[in-house]
Amino acid sequence: MRFVNADVVIIGGGGAGLRAAIAAAEADPSLHVALVSKIYPMRSHTVAAEGGAAGVASENDSLENHFRDTVSGGDWLCDQDAVDLFVKEAPGVLRELEHWGCPWSRQADGRVAVRPFGGMKIERTWYAADKSGFHILHTLFQTSLKYDAIHRYDEYYVVDLLVADGRCMGCVAIELKTGETVVFAAPSVVMATGGAGRAFPFTTNAGTNTGDGIAMAYRAGVPLKDMEFVQYHPTGLPGKGILITEGARGEGGILVNRDGYRYLQDYNLGPPDPWPRKKAMELGPRDRLSQAFWHEQQKGRTVDHPAGQVVLLDVRHLGEKKINERLPFVRELARIYAAVDPVHEPIPVRPVVHYTMGGIDTDIDAASPVTGLYAAGECACVSINGANRLGSNSLTELLVFGRIAGHNAATARAEHPDEASARELAETAMSRVQRLLDTDPGEESVAGLRDELNGYMEECAGIYRDQERLDQACEGIAGLRERYGKLGLTDKSCVFNTELAYALELGSMLEIGEALVHAARMRRESRGAHQRLDFTERNDDEFLVHSMASFRGDGPPEITRKPVTITRWEPAERVYGGTSDD
């Protein structure tokens, strides 16, 4: 067992983790900042974000506008103190990326260009063509190379946090190349491991988005907040689930059903102007658009496609020049993975699991209830996203709260943990790994259990839910967790034992999936991305609260409630389309 004595440990090397690492290094260059990730940082899923990052950029816009769009977009489940901080910090973190070389797309006068996005009243989404996440991630990664304080531990799979008496003192990991156990001890830990979309079978998420960090924090005693809120992005390619950016609609793309009809006008999103008006039609919020698809499918108005039912995203009227300039990646992806050239044909799309709104409970200092543990990015729930995240808020969120987490972790000035205690906690945590390695393969397999979990999530926790199916999922996933206890591996080796890594990821997804369906069962209302066929209205009297899922070992989670922070905008009806005041 190797021992690394660090000052700050950051788990996850995507956008939030890298931004946190840079902030920690800038706060105190003498620190040992350990950036630990199961993959190389540039492989992280921030890389796949396309459309852009929101931040007020023009004189006709205001922080108040961004605040109101975000709070109403989240169906009033956002914590308003967090949203205020977020919109205030947003322009600064985006300018900072520009100063670090991010190749943002430009206006003719050399200033950064912005585009309209769903649910946003004014165009404020900064973009780098349609590879914004890719460029943000690579800019952060390359910039991180400047800092001697940042020590990277690439391809180390973190197994668990080390927590005793309500204080976090590091984590324990497996170096994938050797199989060696490594203890990272530090007074501060930042969790930045991204979302858990892979609990679902049909998702835009990378294979690595298995929610490890969310599950680690959960096991360590941090409640998971609002896990029932899962975002379906309305436009993924059928079959593979590859993302086609909302930027395509921001640039003027339209959605039509099998009759060539812009069906969104039937769902309180009209009128169908030739040029999409803000916060209407194709520029409505993602939850409403994905729900509209579901209804179109019920009505038999979707299009048959070999890989399932779809609607059509049409950008042909933008013309080849504009498509090549603003949406080159969309064109590339559609040609490769759907055999369609968007210059000449509409793109087949359908809703696809995209974003985990819930996550590790944090406050506006990015701190969790466990002392010394911070979290930022998609794994955290601070919550600026509430019941439905607006497109292009998440890239900004990982910058704003990644920076805060890294800075606070670096300046907390807590004592270093005792090596013997850290080692002892690590031994205990690793017994879970040892059991998997010691158990001979039997009836259960990683792929088999994963497929069953995927089935429950899709069947019972999709765009529309009800009591009966959520009951089924709660019971079913409990059964899967029990069977997981008997899982044995065929691979007993040390070097890059990916079967072991997949098994640990599966364990995370089972725990998260269970928390998700229990939270969804508790919430007997419809709000944002959580829609119940048996409780079709928002119910502020009972459910203007965060759900909090607490880990209870082998049993089901305990679900409690926490008040939503409402500072200055009382809940109101959420209106889009022509009847909206905005």
Please give the residue ranges that form the binding site for another protein (CB under 8 A): 39-40, 42-45, 47-48, 95, 98-101, 103-112, 131, 134-135, 138, 142-143, 145-146, 152, 154-155, 177, 206-208, 239-240, 242-243, 307, 329, 332-333, 336-337, 441, 445-447, 489-491, 493-499, 502
DSSP one-letter code for 20: H
Residue number, 50 or 287, with CB nearest to another protein? 50
Q: Shortest distance, CB of residue 8 to another protein, whole angstroms?
A: 20
Residue number, 193 or 497, with CB nearest to another protein? 497
Q: Shortest distance, CB of residue 443 to another protein, whole angstroms?
A: 14
The owner of tokens 């599966």 is 506
Residue number, 441 or 455, with CB nearest to another protein? 441
- Alpha carbons within 13 angstroms on the beta-carbon side of residue 126 total 27
CB burial class (10 A; 0-12, 13-18, 19+) of residue 561?
middle
Q: How many helices (H) and strands (E) does the chain have?
A: 15, 24
Candidate list 219, 249, 288, 354, residue with the active-site label: 249
CA angle 504, 506, 508 (to 5 degrees): 75
CA-closest candidate to residue 386, choices 5, 7, 68: 68
Q: Which residues touch 95 (CB under 8 Å, ≥6 apart)?
A: none
Q: Shortest distance, CB of residue 260 to another protein, whole angstroms?
A: 26
Residue number, 50 or 75, with CB nearest to another protein? 50
Q: Shortest distance, CB of residue 357 to another protein, whole angstroms?
A: 21
N residues, the chain: 582
Q: Shortest distance, CB of residue 503 to another protein, whole angstroms?
A: 9
Candidate list 233, 403, 546, 574, residue with the active-site label: 233
Q: Which residues touch 379 (CB under 8 Å, ≥6 apart)?
A: 12, 16, 191, 192, 193, 194, 195, 211, 213, 214, 217, 356, 359, 360
- Contact status, residue 240 vs residue 337, Cβ threshold 8 Å: yes
Residue number, 245 or 531, with CB nearest to another protein? 245
Q: Shortest distance, CB of residue 359 to another protein, whole angstroms?
A: 20
Sheet of strand 150-154, all strands in order from the earlier edge strand to the far edge: 150-154, 33-37, 8-11, 188-191, 373-375
For residue 305, count other CB atoms closer than 10 A to its CB.
17
Residue number, 101 or 485, with CB nearest to another protein? 101
Cα 541 from chain centroid (whole Å): 28
Record the tokens describing residue 533, joined without a space. Answer: 């066929």
Residue number, 336 or 572, with CB nearest to another protein? 336
Supply the angle between the helices 498-522 and 212-219 in degrees, to the nearest 10: 70
Q: Shortest distance, CB of residue 507 to another protein, whole angstroms?
A: 16
Active site residue 249: yes
Phi, psi dihedral angles at 392 (to 5 degrees): 80, 0
- Contact status, residue 250 vs residue 51, Cβ threshold 8 Å: yes
Active site residue 95: no
Distance CA 341, CA 422 (A): 56
The catalytic residue positions are 233, 249
